Amino acid sequence: MRKTFVLDTNVLLQTPLAIYSFDNNIVVIPEVVLEELDKFKKDNSELGANARHAARLFDTLRARGKLNEGVGLDNGGILRVEMNFHDIDLPQSWDPNSNDNRILKICKGLLMEGENVILITKDIFERIKADIMGVVSQDFQAEQVSSYDEQYKGCLTVYTSESNINNFYNNGKLKKNEVFSFSSDYGKKRDVELVTNQFLIIHSCDNDKHTALARYDGKEIVSLKFLNERPFGVTPRNTGQKFMQEALMMDADKVPLVIVKGPAGTAKTFYSLAVGLYKIMIEQKNLYRKILVCRPNIMLDEDIGFLPGTEQDKIAPFLRPVIDNLEVLVDNDENERYSSEKELRDKIDELFDRKIVSTEAIAFIRGRSIAKQWVIIDEAQNLTPRQVKGIITRAGMGTKIVLIGDPEQIDHPFLDIRTNGLCYAAEKMKGSPLCYQITLTEEECVRSDLAYEGARKM
């Protein structure tokens, strides 16, 4: 029996091509969804772009027949716009005119007519209300990745013999089959599946305190190249930062994409800026023209065309965390750093005036080709999968893209820990020779004792 999938507006606003994700079943678009999409079509945002994309799809399909009667899709399914069931009874306290409840009326009406109905919505409360109405509901899963605990972390703890560790320190190499892990049952040795560019913490079986840091290059285990570097005077304070430094210090021709996940206070933005400044101002190999910092913000991306002032004026309030990190980097004397606010501000302004650092809204990256730039996408957990794909595919020759964010701090109303762009990119780029990944932990918080305590306990 064919299933009938009723799509909520938020599904199409996230993925217009969602109509093709249900095989040869029936896809129903309630009329109220068309009304809601119409309200978004003029927005200068990702949501607006997706609403327009959905409109073009429906207009193309309209040429095949009447949408309210159903038209065939290329995958064998049927798309239908549903306009009936206005008289379905709802719980007395529910507003019959709310858009969500109008969608539920259609689901209930189709169910009463014998159709095998499943409501597809990103709205948790809508799914709860569907349960009350006796309607089966699901989240849209076509762009979902694994749960966070199962997602690729970019790092693995392995074990080897004492002699192998000594040889590694002498030769800088180990064979893949020379390391192993222990199973949870009775501590039995087991082989490990290594991923290209995966970082490794290697422990000696004979002395657990004897360790080495390494990376698997796809063929063998190799030592870190930049372990002793101090980019822009910054010293890594923990294992995660040592791995992050290695990934960032690699030139764009070898590693054009770095993905860093982790909680607040783990120096993701700080280290990304430090290495970028080092590459441009100290190393001076002319590899990068400038540092470009972007920080997605839902309201900003939607309203930037209407806000007063220049582009920089519009996005400045949302990039204050970047300024905070630059203040520490341009003056590493903690005792004197804030003695003159004007002098400190002048140093920051010089970076922007000389175009060493520039900032842009995510909305302005669309359609560009970015060449020879050090691109930092901060708060990347607020990107959609489509946005993150658009950013990565904008990278021209010589550009390095650094995606950083905390998947536990998502502000986007339609995203969660399994559907945000940061985690989506991490899972899709797993094993790519062009991508290094690091996942930092709460224990690696270096902002302050209070920040660490808050991250650990709250």
**What pLDDT was estimated at residue 313?**
58
Give the residue-averaged pLDDT of 213-222.
97
pLDDT category of residue 295 using cuts at 50, 70 and 90: confident
Distance CA 275, CA 370 (A): 19
Instruction: Give which of 140, 139, 119 is closest to 130, Cα–Cα.
Output: 119
**What pLDDT was estimated at residue 188?**
78
**What pLDDT was estimated at residue 298?**
44
Give the residue-averaged pLDDT of 128-153.
90
**pLDDT at residue 143 above 60?**
yes
Distance CA 101, CA 108 (A): 10
Distance CA 411, CA 60 (A): 34
Distance CA 63, CA 47 (A): 25
SS (H, E, C) the chain: CCEEEEECHHHHHHCHHHHHCCCCCEEEEEHHHHHHHHHHCCCCCHHHHHHHHHHHHHHHHHCCCCCCCCEECCCCCEEEEECCCCCCCCCCCCCCCCHHHHHHHHHHHHHHCCCEEEEECCCHHHHHHHHHHCCEEECCCCCCCCCHHHCCCCEEEEEECHHHHHHHHHHCEECHHHCEEECCCCCCEECCCCCCCEEEEEEECCCCCCEEEEEECCCCEEECCCCCCCHHHCCCCCHHHHHHHHHHHCCCCCCCEEEEECCCCCCHHHHHHHHHHHHHHHHCCCCCCEEEEECCCHHHHHHCCCCCCCHHHHHHHHHHHHHHHHHHHHCCCCCCCCCCHHHHHHHHHHHHHCCCEEEECHHHCCCCCECCEEEEECCHHHCCHHHHHHHHCCECCCCEEEEEECCCCCCCCCCCCCCCHHHHHHHHCCCCCCEEEEECCHHHCCCCHHHHHHHHHC
Domains recognised in the chain with CATH numbers: 3-138 (3.40.50.1010), 145-223 (2.30.130), 237-457 (3.40.50.300)
pTM recorded for the entire structure: 0.81
Distance CA 286, CA 284 (A): 5
**pLDDT tens string 66-80:** 999 999 999 999 999
**What pLDDT was estimated at residue 312?**
56
Least confident of 72-81, 95-104, 137-146, 291-300: 291-300
**pLDDT at residue 275 above 90?**
yes
**pLDDT at residue 184 above 80?**
no
Distance CA 70, CA 77 (A): 10
- Distance, first Cα to last Cα, the chain: 48
Tokens found for residue 253: 């021709």
Distance CA 42, CA 398 (A): 35
**pLDDT at residue 11 above 90?**
yes
More confident call, 86 vs 242: 242
Max avg pLDDT among 45-59, 183-197, 355-369: 45-59
**pLDDT at residue 296 above 90?**
no
**What pLDDT was estimated at residue 386?**
84
Angle at 444 between CA 197 and CA 412, to 5 degrees: 80
Give the residue-averaged pLDDT of 281-294.
91
Give the residue-averaged pLDDT of 117-130.
95
Tokens found for residue 431: 């094993």
**pLDDT at residue 302 above 50?**
no
8 A C-beta contact, residue 440 and residue 261: yes
Give the residue-averaged pLDDT of 90-102.
93
**pLDDT tens string 372-382:** 999 999 999 99
Residue 161 φ/ψ, nearest 5 degrees: -75, 160
**pLDDT at residue 303 above 50?**
no
**What pLDDT was estimated at residue 304?**
47
Non-local (6+) Cβ contacts of 411 within 8 A are 297, 298, 382
